[in-house]
Amino acid sequence: MKELVLKKTVFSYQGHSFSHDVYTCPQCGKVLIPKELAEGRIAKVEEQLEDK
């Protein structure tokens, strides 16, 4: 079993791309999105990008 590693990852939404460091599997490339990130920064970015 390998440990997850922090890696700058690109997120795309509504035609924009943003990066953030998240834990990534070095073998398969899948990323772990913690609940705090999904409900925090990611939700805030979505809110800013969406029309009212």
Partner 1 sequence: MSNIVRNTYSVCPECLKKIPAVIVKKQNNYFLEKTCSEHGSFSAVVWRGGHIPMEEWGSYRPPENEKEMPDCPHACGLCSGHLQSTCCVLLEITGRCNLSCPFCFAESGFECDDPSVEELKTYFKHLVEKGNTFVHLSGGEPTVRDDLPDVVAAARDAGCENIQLNSNGIRLGRDRSYTKELADAGLSFVFMQFDGTEDAIYEKLRGKPLFAEKKSAIEACSQELLGVTLVPTVVPGVNDHNIGEIVKFGLDNSPAVRGIHFQPVSYFGRYPDPPADEDRITLPEVLYAIEEQTDARLKISDFLPSRCDHPGCGFHGDFVVLPEGLIKLTRKSSSADNSCCFSDNSAEHIKNRNFVSRRWKRIPSLTIKKDNPGNDFSDMDTFLERVKTHGFTITAMAFQDAYTLDIERLRRCSLHVYKDGKTIPFCSRYLTRC
Positions that interact with partner 1 (CB under 8 A): 10-11, 14-20, 41-42, 44-46, 48-52
* Tokens (6 digits) for 14: 């509504």
Q: Which amino acid appears at position 4 of this protein?
A: L
- Rounded to a whole number of angstroms, the minimum distance from the CB of residue 48 to partner 1 is 5
Dist CA 30 CA 4 (whole Å): 10
* Tokens (6 digits) for 24: 């990534």
- Rounded to a whole number of angstroms, the minimum distance from the CB of residue 47 to partner 1 is 9
**Which one, 17 or 27, has the nearer CB to partner 1?**
17
**Which one, 31 or 45, has the nearer CB to partner 1?**
45
The residue behind tokens 């990066």 is 19
